[in-house]
């Protein structure tokens, strides 16, 4: 089965549905420490928690994406010799500057890895890099956890 390629679009805020706008507002409240929980954030902006969770990993303020040039990726990997090394080499080849790496202890032959990287020097766009990473035979899952500082 062919994997569907993720694409990103720049969209004017006035045509976004209210739930997406409110999700961005709620995320900002959480990131700035203005609220103590997701529940408090969604309550303050009058948004359902289900809508927040539906859109939280899909909508980002444009300024944050451009200014910060930092992204955190989550991976679910098969536990095989050299997998982390191959993953890091692919990111480095694309020009990503790896800032942090966290790997869990493998359980049942799988490990979770979180990588934060600076994308300002990348020679490959992030969508292409993610598609390359998803095609690696030991990668079960790739997600963008966050972008920004």
126 in any annotated domain: yes
Range of the domain at 93: 67-147
Q: Check pLDDT > 80 for residue 62.
A: no
Same domain, 42 and 110: no
102 in any annotated domain: yes
User: For residue 136, what are the CA distances in angstroms to 33, 82, 88, 106?
Assistant: 37, 12, 12, 18
Same domain, 56 and 71: no
81-133 residue pLDDT tens: 999 999 999 999 999 999 899 999 999 999 999 998 888 888 888 888 999 99
CATH of the domain at 116: 3.30.70.260
Tokens of 38: 């997701």
Same domain, 78 and 136: yes
Q: What is the dihedral of CA 11, 14, 18, 19, to 10 degrees?
A: 10
Same domain, 31 and 100: no
90 in any annotated domain: yes
pTM, rounded to two decimals: 0.55
User: E-strand spans in the chain?
Assistant: 70-78, 97-103, 110-118, 139-147
8 in any annotated domain: no
Same domain, 71 and 40: no
**How far out from the chain centre does Cα 35 lie?**
22
Same domain, 41 and 112: no
């Amino acid at each position: 089965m062919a994997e569907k390629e993720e694409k990103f679009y720049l969209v004017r805020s006035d045509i976004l549905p209210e739930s997406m706008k409110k999700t961005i507002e709620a995320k900002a409240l959480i990131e700035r420490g203005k609220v103590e929980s997701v529940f408090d954030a969604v309550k303050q902006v009058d948004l359902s928690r289900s809508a927040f969770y539906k859109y939280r990993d899909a909508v980002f303020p444009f300024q944050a994406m451009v200014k910060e040039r930092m992204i955190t990726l989550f991976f679910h990997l098969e536990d095989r010799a050299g997998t982390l090394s191959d993953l890091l080499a692919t990111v480095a080849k694309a020009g990503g500057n790896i800032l942090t790496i966290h790997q869990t202890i493998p359980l049942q032959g799988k490990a979770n890895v979180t990588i934060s990287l600076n994308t300002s020097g990348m020679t490959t766009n992030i969508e292409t890099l993610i598609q390359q990473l998803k095609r690696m035979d030991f990668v079960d899952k790739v997600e963008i956890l966050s972008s920004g500082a």
